[in-house]
Structure 1
């Protein structure tokens, strides 16, 4: 199987070939997959690369709940379209349940105590005219929030409040709203979610199959291992989830596809012209599979990681060391944003052309004028990435 065809197909299915220009954010997410957030610029960069959506448009969609950042697959936060809010919350429910079970076992917390705190928090938010941050909730809840002492600090759960907030979120009773309306930071308030997006979706076999159906529409061809990475399901549950989909194997590989996509893939040809995109390192083109080497040309596998220890190569990385430049699905370069110069600093694996320079210029303008920076995650900063910027510039 020609690797360039697979890469170009993945990029096509991800809308990185220009086919989704002008499409609304919710539809982009429905067609290409949920976007990982972690307080960085990934959702903005991903929606700009696919649909040329401005930050103000995305923020307006967040405000009107066309899209929202929710705990979902593996308990991680993703930006989801409204059509998937309930599914995302249900598949993410295991994480706060597990945290509560651990707190019961090691910290002396009881289910009844947390359920009562959930009622207290819900009542506080119901009576508030504005979102309340964790500190404000803790103060208003008073003795209903219990300090978990040194044992809690060692386990990363200092009070009982995060346990209640986690349960209330996955139940669809409350939701987090970004303090300034932006996705690329991690300061939140909480509000009641009325009406709740949670309805009758509760049968876990159905839930897992629905997640598998979406996943293989976004990421196929993909293996069961890839799906398990994304979903966090056990091997048995992953196999059971995909069984009703009647996926077909790609000859000579362990990759699976829906039948209708397999027919389309057979007739797909690699575009002759480059199609560049500048994306976050946690963009779906990588993170849906988390199998970085599949995007690298053989000649690039042994490339040294910029700014890393001697001997570290791109082919040995689980994740990209910087933001990604892709061309028809190929990992074709690295980039970062330098706030000192308000410029994108980049390294391309090969020759530059006019199309690449135009894409870099458009993305640079978007980051400079609409985002102000292109952070990888909440703790990323100009200071923390200075060595990467210097290595790329060198």
Structure 2
């Protein structure tokens, strides 16, 4: 396969060719991969680009728990379909356990006190009429019904604050989410903002070995052909654990490369024929078309690799970046432009690497209307703001 055909194959597997329009949020995520969520617009943009799903439809799926934001691979938060909750919880469980171990070494936190706090939090959540935010939980676990002898939330002092853990409550919340005993609910129903309450849940994580193999099975369905290195990046597994996870899958090598394919995709891959016509999509910089491999150069033509990064440092070029400097415009898997949203003007500012034809202009206008009318902004992550992105917006306008 040529690089162009390989990119188009990845784009096809990612549903960026229009093949998933009309699918539900759960169907799109199951078929193309979990959507990375960091308090930004990425999940909404990805579901809109693939399935033309409105924000209202996605929020309704979240409310029905057909999809949900969970700490999962590498302990990072992703939006997952319900069928993957058990796998996601299991593969993410090691991170809160590691955080608790570090708090034990450096802050004198014991497992016994965290288990006591976990029990109090579960009791408070069961008694509550609705979601409790962290401030309300701190009060609730110290109530006479929940804990007659005093509040089990301990302030960790200056030493804790230096390590980013002011109290023991986040440690307990992390463990309870990983165990499936507690579910984090968006305060306003939206997954592009980081304000949450917590409710009681009864999810059952898979056992770790099964979960790792199931994660590998899903990953290579979404991202193949991909290498073991790519899978290790996504999963956070060691080399030995990753090799063990893929062992039962009988992946097939792509001749002359370190890339692997599931056996049931080998014939389809060999027979894949490019469409030969543009199909543009505007995506977040952390969309799966990039983040599943996190190898940005594979999506960029050599002629575009040395273009200046909008608003970046002198000499910064896309071909040398680990991650995109802005949101992406892609055509059949190739990055053909960069964009940001200006909420003050209600418009997308973009720089195209190709001649802007009618199809590209239509894709920009459609996404611009979606962001303006349904999202209000297209933040990259929770701390992104119009002010922080102004250098990029100014460069894109220019």
Q: TM-score range by the shorter chain?
A: over 0.9
Query: Deviation digits for residues 286-306 of structure 1, max 9, x if unmatched?
Result: 000000000000101111111
Query: Deviation digits for residues 65-85 of structure 1, max 9, x if unmatched?
Result: 000000000000000000000
* Structure-2 residue corresponding to 1:207: 211
* Structure-2 residue corresponding to 1:64: 64
1:37 aligns with 2:37: yes
Q: State the alpha-carbon separation in 2 of the partners of residues 210 and 308 from structure 1.
A: 39
1:169 aligns with 2:177: yes
Query: Deviation digits for residues 117-137 of structure 1, max 9, x if unmatched?
Result: 000001111111011100111
The alignment partner of 1:336 has SS state of strand
* Structure-1 residue corresponding to 2:89: 89
Q: State the alpha-carbon separation in 2 of the partners of residues 130 and 239 from structure 1.
A: 43
1:334 aligns with 2:338: yes
1:197 aligns with 2:203: yes
Give the CA deviation at 1:158: 1.0
1:132 aligns with 2:140: no
1:157 aligns with 2:165: yes
Q: State the alpha-carbon separation in 2 of the partners of residues 205 and 117 from structure 1.
A: 29
* Structure-2 residue corresponding to 1:235: 239
Query: Deviation digits for residues 31-51 of structure 1, max 9, x if unmatched?
Result: 000000100000000000000
> TM-score, normalized by length of structure 1?
0.98
* Structure-2 residue corresponding to 1:223: 227
Segments of structure 1 that go 5 or more residues without pairing to the other structure are none
The alignment partner of 1:277 has SS state of strand
- Where do residues 256-271 of structure 1 align in structure 2 (5 Å cutoff)? 256-271=260-275
Deviates more, 1:83-92 or 1:150-159: 150-159
Give 2:287's match in structure 1, choosing from 274, 283, 287: 283
Q: State the alpha-carbon separation in 2 of the partners of residues 42 and 269 from structure 1.
A: 29
* Structure-2 residue corresponding to 1:373: 377
* Structure-1 residue corresponding to 2:145: none
Query: Deviation digits for residues 168-218 of structure 1, max 9, x if unmatched?
Result: 00110110000100001000000001xx2215x21x222211110000000
Q: State the alpha-carbon separation in 2 of the partners of residues 207 and 23 from structure 1.
A: 26
Q: State the alpha-carbon separation in 2 of the partners of residues 288 and 223 from structure 1.
A: 11
Give 2:327's match in structure 1, choosing from 319, 323, 328: 323
The alignment partner of 2:184 has SS state of strand
Aligned length: 390
Is the contact between residue 336 and residue 353 of structure 2 (CA under 8 Å) also seen in structure 1? yes
Q: State the alpha-carbon separation in 1 of the partners of residues 168 and 396 from structure 2.
A: 44
Give the CA deviation at 1:350: 1.5
* Structure-2 residue corresponding to 1:350: 354
Q: State the alpha-carbon separation in 1 of the partners of residues 164 and 373 from structure 2.
A: 37
Give the CA deviation at 1:97: 0.2
Q: State the alpha-carbon separation in 2 of the partners of residues 251 and 317 from structure 1.
A: 28
The alignment partner of 2:276 has SS state of coil
Q: State the alpha-carbon separation in 2 of the partners of residues 88 and 379 from structure 1.
A: 25
Segments of structure 2 that go 5 or more residues without pairing to the other structure are 143-150
Give the CA deviation at 1:139: 2.3
The alignment partner of 2:242 has SS state of helix
Poorly superposed stretches of 4+, deviation over 6 Å: none
Deviates more, 1:282-291 or 1:204-213: 204-213
Give the CA deviation at 1:140: 2.5
* Structure-1 residue corresponding to 2:195: 187
The alignment partner of 1:78 has SS state of strand
The alignment partner of 1:144 has SS state of coil
Query: What is the RMSD computed on CA atoms of the aligned residues?
Result: 0.8
* Structure-2 residue corresponding to 1:141: 141
Query: Deviation digits for residues 342-387 of structure 1, max 9, x if unmatched?
Result: 0100000011111111111110110010001101000111111111
Give the CA deviation at 1:138: 1.3
Is the contact between residue 87 and residue 212 of structure 2 (CA under 8 Å) also seen in structure 1? no
Give the CA deviation at 1:110: 0.6
Is the contact between residue 55 and residue 375 of structure 2 (CA under 8 Å) also seen in structure 1? yes
Q: State the alpha-carbon separation in 2 of the partners of residues 382 and 301 from structure 1.
A: 26
Q: State the alpha-carbon separation in 1 of the partners of residues 126 and 392 from structure 2.
A: 46
Is the contact between residue 34 and residue 80 of structure 2 (CA under 8 Å) also seen in structure 1? yes
> TM-score, normalized by length of structure 2?
0.97
